């Protein structure tokens, strides 16, 4: 049994108590078979009087005849493991079924209902079904009846052991029930509970458990924010001549949104406490210019700056951009990645340690133990959701309370961003540069491939460049998907033999990837076949067409990022989303959102709703806990309330050292096990 539970990551009693029902069935009003109505969802109990395989046309089906004192009903399974069903529905067994009833020529029937067998004890006391019944997600070998029996025993014996020392004033203001009572009622609801509240995840019991998870998360955020604003920093003068020359050299005027965000950042840099700011901006909104202004500010004040990116391709792109803009100001920038030779690395290490390198651009190579700075004053982290909290902290620790600017091109709804990143101030560039054209996006099927190839050839003939993105590097025996390596050879040999076709993917070395991107940037490669390694940061002005194969395999936000690799100049650009043969109707509907909108924030909201917060946010990478019960979108109102209460507690007791908060502090540290980097507040 323990092995079966472990398949669902249930390894402790606490895990099981937080393994909540996914829905509930109302079995308070069982109907005799003779009184059920077609077109309704009903719950019935009866004895199996016949079961076996039948044939309809060329297909076998499994049928059961159910009988009680008032009548009979047919139950059918069109597909499934018929041998398994035959073992369950033996003649004479009493079963409980819940499903949609429909009328057929032979009478009433259910197709593929939820079912459970009842033994003699069940029939005698009627307890398992004459009430609201929890329904859990199943795994093989753990039917509903078994899970409910386990949960019933644990709730009785261990619910009182759950400790949640949220202060009494908070519980009174939020009208929260006791935690043990909440756990009992969420697993086995009272007889008078409203089904709409239970299945709408709005019950008072569930709200109590969700509030608990969010409160301790926000308590950690509040402590981090308090530490950020109270520790000493290095004020930077944002009115120097070097910064003025930088702005004067720009060949364009910053948008009002960029100017507003730069004003917010400049205000932070001027302060005596270090900046900790999240900069959000859609693809092409101009985040890089704002970040460059911050780099110049640090350097003109005699400090060093570091920019960390998640991939070597993106780091190299940033390095080229920074050198182009900062070299005329006398500011040198060096690149540090894992691809450098030992001699090159030692040279960069020495320059950084002496202070001879004002700006260091790199990947996680920047946080190696052997890296040190002479006077690090500013850190810029791009695509921050790709890095864990501890990685950001490692780079931060290489300076004395440096200013930190983290950037993301993955739009997050503002309210969600401000709540999730409670330890950061949030700036959003919510406008695009004037004249930036929307990228025309179309969804194409396999039968329209010739149209896609014509579009590719047309762009190449006009002197432009094309990306073709695949979800895999090499052919898979498991997934029936086109892969980048094989298709690059096919395109080069058979489809576009007269074009220069290149290939880039994540398994290449940094040097190999850098060489391919340089050739593409210089126009030597006309068609670049790639995996999602080019998702962020690639800036090739002549690239005007993005073709994404098996687009249904990507998240919407990832597709939006990939689409943003084109349309980076005045050239009209397009994105073709190729749908594989096995794509579901849901996947096709999802892709239509891409065709309808270029608004990254709308797309992000749709993606968040479809994929769920864990996958969308990359919680394991970002340091955000994996909530067991709470849902970041559905429970947003509870999240906001928990944030207000947690920040209120910390404002009254900034280090949680008051005796009344001792248990609160202990539970906080045990819950997140250092993931929130709270050790420094001890």
42-97 pLDDT, tens per residue? 889 999 999 999 987 778 899 999 999 999 999 999 988 899 899 999 999 999 88
pLDDT score of 481 more than 60? no
Cα distance between residue 37 and residue 452, in whole Å: 52
Q: 589: burial class by Cβ within 10 Å (0-12, 13-18, 19+)?
A: exposed
- Domain ranges in the chain? 2-160, 241-429, 440-597
Task: Provide mean pLDDT across the span 190-219.
Answer: 92
- Most confident residue range from 105-109, 190-194, 296-300, 586-590: 296-300
Which of 296-300, 506-510, 570-574, 645-649 bottoms out in mean pLDDT, i.e. has the lowest? Answer: 506-510
pLDDT of residue 681: 33
Please check whether the domain covering 440-597 is classified as CATH 3.40.50.970: no
- pLDDT tens-digit series, residues 407-445: 887 777 666 776 667 778 888 887 777 667 788 999 998
597 pLDDT tier (thresholds 50, 70, 90): confident
Higher pLDDT, 312 or 102: 102
pLDDT of residue 203: 95
Q: Which superfamily does 2-160 belong to?
A: Nucleic acid-binding proteins (2.40.50.140)
Higher pLDDT, 584 or 372: 372
114 pLDDT tier (thresholds 50, 70, 90): confident
DSSP annotation string for 510-550: HHHHHHHHHHHHTTS-SEEEE-GGGSSS---TTEEEEEETT
CB 445 within 8 Å of CB 588: no
Q: 569: burial class by Cβ within 10 Å (0-12, 13-18, 19+)?
A: middle
Task: Provide mean pLDDT across the span 465-470.
Answer: 93
pLDDT of residue 284: 75
**In sequence order, which ranges of 31-70 are alpha helices (DSSP H)?**
none
- pLDDT tens-digit series, residues 276-321: 898 988 777 888 899 999 999 999 999 999 999 888 878 888 999 9
pLDDT score of 340 more than 90? no
Q: Across-strand partners of 242?
A: none
**Same fold: 2-160 with 440-597:** no
CB 427 within 8 Å of CB 506: no
388 pLDDT tier (thresholds 50, 70, 90): low
pLDDT score of 678 more than 50? no
Task: Provide mean pLDDT across the span 564-568.
Answer: 84
pLDDT score of 266 more than 60? yes
Higher pLDDT, 533 or 206: 206
451 pLDDT tier (thresholds 50, 70, 90): very high
Q: 456: burial class by Cβ within 10 Å (0-12, 13-18, 19+)?
A: buried
pLDDT of residue 116: 80
Cα distance between residue 473 and residue 531, in whole Å: 7
Which of 29-33, 215-219, 545-549 bottoms out in mean pLDDT, i.e. has the lowest? Answer: 29-33
Task: Provide mean pLDDT across the span 467-489.
Answer: 72
Beta strands in 393-439 (DSSP E): 403-408, 425-429
555 pLDDT tier (thresholds 50, 70, 90): confident
Please give the share of the chain, as a percent, with pLDDT higher than 90: 47
The whole-chain average pLDDT of the chain stands at 85
pTM across the whole model: 0.68
Higher pLDDT, 492 or 627: 492
pLDDT of residue 478: 43
pLDDT of residue 619: 41
Cα distance between residue 392 and residue 621, in whole Å: 11
Higher pLDDT, 116 or 119: 116
621 pLDDT tier (thresholds 50, 70, 90): very low
Cα distance between residue 222 and residue 381, in whole Å: 22
679 pLDDT tier (thresholds 50, 70, 90): very low
CB 17 within 8 Å of CB 159: yes
Which of 166-175, 357-366, 504-513, 573-582 bottoms out in mean pLDDT, i.e. has the lowest? Answer: 504-513
Task: Provide mean pLDDT across the span 222-251.
Answer: 87
pLDDT of residue 12: 93
Please give the CATH number for the structural domain made up of 241-429: 3.40.50.300
- Most confident residue range from 17-21, 411-415, 469-473: 17-21
Higher pLDDT, 3 or 680: 3
Please give the share of the chain, as a percent, with pLDDT higher than 70: 89
pLDDT of residue 233: 82
């Amino acid at each position: 049994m323990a092995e079966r539970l472990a398949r669902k990551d249930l390894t402790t009693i606490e895990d099981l108590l937080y393994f909540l029902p996914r829905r509930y069935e109302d079995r308070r009003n069982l109907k005799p078979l003779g009184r059920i109505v077609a077109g309704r969802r009903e719950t019935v109990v009866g004895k199996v009087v016949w079961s076996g395989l039948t044939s309809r046309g060329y297909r076998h089906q499994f049928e059961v005849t159910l009988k009680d004192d008032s009548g009979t009903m047919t139950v059918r399974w069109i597909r499934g493991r018929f041998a398994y069903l035959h073992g369950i529905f033996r003649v004479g067994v009493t079963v409980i079924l819940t499903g949609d009833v429909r009328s057929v020529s032979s009478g009433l029937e259910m197709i593929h209902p939820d079912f459970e067998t009842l033994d003699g004890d069940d029939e005698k006391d009627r307890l398992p079904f004459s009430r609201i019944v929890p329904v859990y997600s199943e795994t093989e070998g753990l039917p509903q009846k078994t899970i409910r029996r386990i949960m019933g025993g644990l709730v009785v014996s261990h619910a009182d052991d759950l400790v949640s020392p949220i202060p009494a004033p908070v519980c009174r203001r939020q009208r929260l029930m006791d935690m043990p009572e909440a756990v009992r009622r969420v697993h086995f609801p009272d007889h008078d509970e409203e089904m709409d509240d239970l299945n709408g995840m709005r019950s008072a019991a569930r709200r109590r458990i969700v509030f608990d998870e969010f409160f301790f998360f926000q308590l950690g955020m509040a402590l981090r924010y308090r530490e950020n604003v109270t520790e000493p920093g290095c004020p930077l003068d944002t009115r120097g001549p070097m910064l003025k020359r930088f702005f004067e050299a720009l060949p364009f005027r910053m948008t009002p949104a960029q100017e507003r965000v730069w004003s917010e950042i400049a205000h932070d840099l001027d302060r005596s406490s270090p900046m900790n700011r999240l900069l959000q901006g859609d693809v092409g909104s101009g985040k890089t210019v704002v970040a460059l202004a911050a780099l110049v500010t640090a350097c003109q004040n005699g400090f060093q700056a570091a920019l960390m990116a998640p991939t070597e391709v993106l780091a190299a792109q940033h390095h080229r951009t920074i050198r182009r803009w900062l070299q005329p100001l006398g500011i040198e920038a060096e690149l540090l990645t894992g691809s450098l030779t030992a001699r090159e690395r030692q040279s960069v290490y020495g320059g950084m340690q002496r202070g001879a390198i004002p700006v260091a651009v790199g990947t996680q190579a920047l946080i190696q133990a052997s890296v040190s700075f002479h006077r690090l004053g500013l850190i810029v982290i791009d695509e921050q959701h790709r890095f864990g909290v501890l990685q950001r902290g490692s780079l931060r620790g290489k300076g004395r309370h440096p200013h930190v600017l983290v950037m993301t091109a993955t739009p997050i709804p503002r309210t969600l961003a401000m709540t999730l990143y409670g330890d950061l101030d949030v700036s959003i560039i919510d406008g695009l540069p004037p004249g930036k054209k929307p990228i025309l996006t179309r969804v194409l099927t396999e039968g329209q491939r010739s149209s896609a190839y014509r579009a590719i050839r047309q762009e190449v003939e006009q002197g432009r460049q094309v990306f073709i993105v695949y979800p895999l590097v090499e052919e898979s025996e498991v997934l029936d998907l086109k892969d980048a390596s094989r298709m690059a050879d096919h395109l080069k040999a058979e489809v576009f033999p007269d074009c220069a076709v290149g290939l880039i993917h994540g398994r290449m070395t940094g040097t190999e990837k850098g060489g391919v991107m340089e050739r593409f940037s210089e126009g030597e490669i006309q068609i670049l076949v790639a995996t999602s390694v080019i998702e962020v940061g690639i800036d090739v002005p002549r690239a005007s067409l993005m073709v994404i194969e098996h687009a249904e395999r990507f998240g919407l936000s990832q597709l939006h990022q990939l689409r943003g690799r084109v349309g980076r100049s005045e050239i009209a650009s397009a994105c073709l989303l190729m749908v594989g043969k096995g794509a579901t109707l849901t996947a096709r509907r999802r892709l239509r959102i891409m065709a309808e909108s270029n608004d990254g924030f709308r797309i992000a909201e749709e993606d968040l709703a479809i994929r769920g917060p864990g996958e969308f946010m990359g919680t394991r990478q970002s340091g955000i806990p994996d909530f067991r019960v709470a849902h970041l979108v559905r429970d947003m109102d509870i999240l906001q309330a928990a944030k207000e209460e947690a920040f209120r507690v910390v404002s009254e007791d900034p280090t949680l050292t008051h005796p009344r908060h001792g248990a609160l502090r202990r539970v906080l540290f045990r819950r997140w096990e250092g993931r929130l980097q709270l050790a420094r507040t001890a």
